[in-house]
Amino acid sequence: MPPNSGQADCFIKEDVMRRTVCKAPRDSDSKLTRLSIGGPVLSRVSPGSDLNRSSHISGTGIMEAPMNAPPSPQREEQGIDRRPAHIALFNIPADGHVNPNMALAAELVRRGHRVSFSIAGKYADQVRATGATPVVYDTTFPRADRGERFPIHDVVAMSSLFLQEAISVLPQQRKAFENDRPDLVLHDYAALSAQVLAHEWGVPAVRLSPTRVSSRTYEKDLAPFYASVAKDEAWLAYRSRFREWLDDAGIGMSIDEFLYVGLADHCLVTIPRQFQADAAELGDDHTFVGPVLREQDHQAPWSPPADGRPVLLIAFGTIAPEVPEVQQVYFECVDAFADSPWHVVMSIGRQLDPEMFGQLPDNVEPMTEAPQLQVLARAKAFVTHAGMGSVMEAIHHVVPMVAVPMGFDQMENASVIERLGIGARVPFEGVTGEEIREAVDRVGTDPDVGRRLRALSEDVRQAGGARAAADTVERLLAQERAPGPQPVGGRPHPPTG
């Protein structure tokens, strides 16, 4: 799944239903289907929902995870067994999935739990900074440093990529935990191997979703797509391989149920409840805790311009900058903002070299990977692909957004930004730098946008975030122990990276 987008979901216009996806239409009212790790599923943001009224956004939202934070009110509940446990956290190597779980890992460690964090080696130092132990594996995901790219335009190829990752990492993870079984498994919804391991070990599992969860009507929603690929040999081969993998693991449920519902005992959704239109229909096995942000940015320090210009951040996530059409947007913005009052920080990714822009205006600062949290803390506007993580970070820092959605959950997020009046939406297809500048100038100076953002940010800051998520984990552990508590925690897991 593409990093920094909150998931790897791609959109397909229902009247097209073809394998090439992720080209966002200029018609913002198009009915869209999104591809999750095993196929597309219809997502909805109801026009009549509370998302239309910012005064109704409350209850859950972003919460940092400071290491010295006091216990949350829920943690003071009497009779809850809170003995330290060994918790294994499984993630895919994608920033939008990893970042929220760093704060959760830190909070669990702060409470005395031992957290073994299974992740690709490039994240090992970040994991150590939380106090958790990295248990690293070799990933099969494309590597930007080798010029490799995610096949984000191909539904079948993306689906196959995630299955191959699960098949590859499962034996690595099985061996790493062979003599140190956890008491509970936490796993990103795309970490398919973790579901198999929790099933093998017979331990409770909690599914983590950094974006909207699939609708309960996924079977009906999937039908049009499946009809379109019924004779696609690559798709059929992928599904056959998936079925064989599940059978080998002794899992009898259907592929779609495994992907969209899963085996977990509970689902923690790290977005505000108000961003999920059908949240009320999901039941008590889903808890919306709101997004979490790490207390400190792990990236290199960044300083704002000395001339006092207002800062504009342009960032489209980690994967999108690999796409030529997205790269062109950066060049458009260099020209459009050259004579503007903005200091423009552009996070251009690893496929572009700053030298490719030639002689840059003094007010444009291209960076391979901008330290997003640091820049947003000083920014007055944000041009974003509207990935869920980026949207929540902007709300946290009260930064007006210009959403340029390119696919994934971004289409829905951009619609929410418009409805809440906390930014503007500019369609990606055919977008020009001048269009983006006009929108930036408009939202960056609109006092009503700022007022609505401040109110929304204050509301979501009151939510539980990492602390509420940890409370839920501890309650599930207590329920598991209730019939006959057993010693937990075990010996420390030997670091593997």
Question: What span, in angstroms and rounded, lies between the C-alpha atoms of 161 and 16?
Answer: 23
What's the confidence (pLDDT) of residue 484?
Answer: 53
- The answer to whether the beta carbons of residues 141 and 171 sit under 8 Å apart is no
Residue 234 CB partners (closer than 8 Å, separation 6+):
156, 157, 160
Which residues on adjacent β-strands are paired with residue 286?
267
Q: 196 lies in which domain range?
A: 10-293+463-481
Is there a single domain that holds both residue 196 and residue 277? Answer: yes
Q: How many domains does the chain have?
A: 2
pLDDT at 45 exceeding the cut of 50: no
Question: What span, in angstroms and rounded, lies between the C-alpha atoms of 20 and 155?
Answer: 7
Q: Which residue has the higher pLDDT, 34 or 479?
A: 479
pLDDT at 474 exceeding the cut of 90: yes
Is there a single domain that holds both residue 251 and residue 161? Answer: yes
Mean pLDDT of 446-463: 88
What's the confidence (pLDDT) of residue 146?
Answer: 80
pLDDT at 464 exceeding the cut of 70: yes
Q: Is residue 486 part of a domain?
A: no
pLDDT at 61 exceeding the cut of 60: no
Report the greatest alpha carbon distance in the chain: 70
Q: Is residue 189 part of a domain?
A: yes
Q: Is residue 342 part of a domain?
A: yes
Q: Is residue 178 part of a domain?
A: yes
Mean pLDDT of 169-189: 97
Burial class (CB in 10 A: 0-12, 13-18, 19+), 335: middle
Is there a single domain that holds both residue 234 and residue 192? Answer: yes
What CATH number did the domain enclosing 416 receive? Answer: 3.40.50.2000
Question: What span, in angstroms and rounded, lies between the C-alpha atoms of 94 and 280?
Answer: 29
Q: Which of 185-194, 217-226, 321-330, 343-352 has the lowest mean pLDDT?
A: 217-226
Is there a single domain that holds both residue 17 and residue 89? Answer: yes
Query: Sign (positive/negative) of CA torsion 432, 437, 440, 445?
Result: negative
Q: Is residue 30 part of a domain?
A: yes
Which pLDDT band, with edges at 50, 70 and 90, does 221 fall under?
A: confident
Is there a single domain that holds both residue 231 and residue 167? Answer: yes
pLDDT at 64 exceeding the cut of 50: no
Q: Is residue 3 part of a domain?
A: no
Residue with tokens 């996924």: 218
Q: For 367-401, how does the pLDDT look when each residue is reduced to its tens digit (9 = 90+)?
A: 999 999 999 999 999 999 999 889 999 999 999 99
Residue with tokens 């019924």: 230
Q: Which residue has the higher pLDDT, 120 or 293?
A: 120
Is there a single domain that holds both residue 133 and residue 246? Answer: yes
Q: How many CB atoms lie within 10 A of CB 425?
A: 21
Mean pLDDT of 180-209: 97
Percent residues over pLDDT 90 in the chain: 57
Is there a single domain that holds both residue 468 and residue 448? Answer: no
Ranges assigned E (strand) in 196-283:
205-209, 266-269
The tokens describing 56, both together, are 């109704």
Is there a single domain that holds both residue 212 and residue 317? Answer: no
- The gap between the terminal CA atoms of the chain, to the nearest Å, is 23
Question: What span, in angstroms and rounded, lies between the C-alpha atoms of 56 and 49?
Answer: 10
Q: Is residue 302 part of a domain?
A: no
Is there a single domain that holds both residue 252 and residue 377? Answer: no
Is there a single domain that holds both residue 234 and residue 155? Answer: yes
Which pLDDT band, with edges at 50, 70 and 90, does 485 fall under?
A: very low
What's the confidence (pLDDT) of residue 174?
Answer: 98
Count CA atoms closer than 13 A to 247's CA, side-chain side: 6
pLDDT at 23 exceeding the cut of 50: no
Is there a single domain that holds both residue 282 and residue 342? Answer: no
Q: Is residue 306 part of a domain?
A: no
Q: Which residue has the higher pLDDT, 147 or 336?
A: 336
Is there a single domain that holds both residue 88 and residue 233? Answer: yes
